[in-house]
Amino acid sequence: MAQDIKIVSVSIPVDLVKELDRVCDLEHRNRSELYREALRQYLKLRRWQTLREYSAAKAAAAGGRSIDIEKMIAELAPQT
């Protein structure tokens, strides 16, 4: 399936480009692939950090470290 692709121009310090090219050689990949992967990783990390912030606030509201995760799970388990 074809993806919508947009070609963008970015300014990157020369030393960073050199390091990127070294990795490209090592991994037999091209610059575009590595840029895409680096961007995906960064965006995924941001999503995680947002979830962490939300979750930490929920945890604090629910009693912080006194939360018993195992007990919560056990209360959902089927009775046998």
Partner 1 sequence: MSELGDGDTIAVDTAVWMDALLFGGSSEELVKLGMTGRVRLVTSEILLGELAELLQRGLDYSDAAVHEVLRFIRDTAEVHDDLDAAAAGAGVPREAVLDIAHRAGATCVATTDGSALAPLDGRGGIPVISIG
Q: Name the residues that contact partner 1, by CB under 8 A.
A: 41, 44-45, 47-48, 50-52, 54-56, 58-59, 61-62, 65, 67, 69-70, 72-74, 76-79
**Measured from the CB atom, is 2 or 77 closer to partner 1?**
77
Question: Could you tell me the two tokens for 58?
Answer: 């929920």
Task: State the residue for tokens 């006194």.
Answer: 66
User: In what helix (H) or strand (E) does residue 56 lie, and over which residues does it extend?
Assistant: helix 31-61
Q: How far apart are CA 32 and CA 25, in angstroms?
A: 13
Smallest gap, in angstroms, from Cβ of residue 67 to partner 1? 7
Smallest gap, in angstroms, from Cβ of residue 59 to partner 1? 4
